[in-house]
Amino acid sequence: MIVTMVSMPDGATTCVSLSEARQRLATDRFLLLDVELPEEEGPEDEPLARRLGLDAEELAWFGSRGESARAEFLGDLAGFVVPVAQDARVAHVHALAGERFVVIAHRGRTVLASDITNHLRRERPHDAVATLFLLLQEALATFRRAAVQALLQVEELEDGMFEERRPAQIYRLSQLRRRAALLHHALLPYLQVVEEMITRRMMSRDFPVERQRLAQEFQRAARLVLADTESLQEATRRAFASYGSLVAGEQNGVINRLTIVSVIFLPLSFLTGFFGMNFTFLTDELESRAVFWLLAVGLQVIVLVAAFYVLHRTRAWRRMRDEE
């Protein structure tokens, strides 16, 4: 376990022991505590909240593995399980906020834990609640960056399809579609529970005006990020439809060529089959060389000329010529 303390508002970071962190939580006026938990959790481990001196019974979930999206008030504390878009997966960061502190816990390293310190140094929030909303906003920013990056990749793939269609493109599109579904599946339940909690608090008369402003900014950012993920989903659907249209267009071109070949060779096949029959007129009457050349070659030339004329007057020939 690695415990990092961020002194506020200057943003100085210090690695401390668990006992020192517990003491500072009880005495400091304003601090941020980052707890990096080991990837593997022992069955006998005491709940993290109790080890930090936060003895509320409702905090047994804090730091536990496998918790779903959460946003709730617990007396003087607010508890969150915040999804964070990280590389090809979605991690979850647990956060507790009181009037004097914010504690975040996560398994292994996350992009949120490394980025939030830099934001704190720049923004210098004046209290723990402002720090909490900054943390929530940064978590949303990870989804926005992931969605925009994936959206650009989808657009590049779609442009590349119209230049040259390759099987690898459909495989990459499938990956991006799964990525879009993962982002949306992780983000939507979280935004729903946070929206419910914020709406209830904003309806309270004792909710400060400054905190109402922070909550409204978060709600606006949440709607934009959700729109970005939905745009990514729509873009992947459109790219799949474009790929299917290109495949269908190529199949139509093949069918048109086969149609043209059939128009040319079916009459020739009929003539060949007809004059290959051994009936009396052919065997007794058509014996001269001139008649042979007239029927064997002349008729086929006439049929070919007629077939090409008909094809030239139809849309299939013009469509095939335009495609090439």
pLDDT tens-place string over residues 114-142: 667 666 767 777 778 888 888 888 899 98
- Hey, which residues does 80 pair with through a beta bridge? 71, 95
| Per-residue model confidence (pLDDT) at position 225 | 93
Q: What percent of the chain has pLDDT over 90?
A: 15
pLDDT at res. 287: 64
Is the pLDDT at 252 greater than 60? The verdict is yes
Assess whether pLDDT exceeds 70 at residue 112.
no
Highest-confidence range of 51-60, 94-103, 219-228, by mean pLDDT?
219-228
- Residue 269 CA to residue 262 CA, distance in Å, equals 10
What is the structure's pLDDT at 148?
93
Residue of higher predicted confidence among 178 and 116: 178
Q: Which of 6-15, 70-79, 293-302 has the highest mean pLDDT?
A: 70-79
**What backbone phi and psi angles, to 5 degrees, belong to 208?**
-60, 150
Residue 166 pLDDT greater than 80, yes or no: yes
**For residue 44, is pLDDT > 60?**
no
Residue 75 pLDDT level (bands cut at 50, 70, 90): confident
Q: For 296, which DSSP code?
A: I
Query: What whole-number distance in Å separates Cα of residue 124 and Cα of residue 135?
Result: 12
Q: Is the peptide bond before 9 cis (omega within 30 degrees of 0)?
A: yes
Closest CA to 59 of 84, 40, 86, 79: 79
Cβ(61)–Cβ(95) under 8 Å? Answer: no
User: For the residues 179-192, what does the mean pLDDT come to?
Assistant: 92
